[in-house]
Structure 1
Amino acid sequence: MTKVILEIDTQLYRLLKVSAETNHLSLEEECCRRLAGGQRRSRYLQALIAELRAEDEQRRANCR
């Protein structure tokens, strides 16, 4: 298994998390919403989405 380590700006992460909770979305859905909304493409958001998807796949694999 490959281990991925991301350096995340904690302030931006908190703002994304609060926004996701406010919009009743998961963190991944909030990131995708922002990316799809015509906002500037962010490498940070794209990396965060990839990490969230990998974690979700790992959780699903462990539950089987």
Structure 2
Amino acid sequence: MHRLVIEVDQQLYRLLENAARAHHWSLEVECRRRLGGAEGHSRYLQALLAELRAEDEQRRAK
């Protein structure tokens, strides 16, 4: 299993917590749902995913 650690500002963290609570999900499930694309793609998440993919490609190229 791969582990992903991301840093988010307090405002985004609160939004994620509130969304998870509203859907009766854990914070992990809410994050996975958003990263998986079930949520409308936010520019922030799109940028984060692009950065993660670029880092992965660089790691593989080495």
What TM-score do you get using the length of structure 2 for normalisation? Answer: 0.49
- More relative contact order in 1 or in 2 (CA 8 Å, sep 6+)? 1
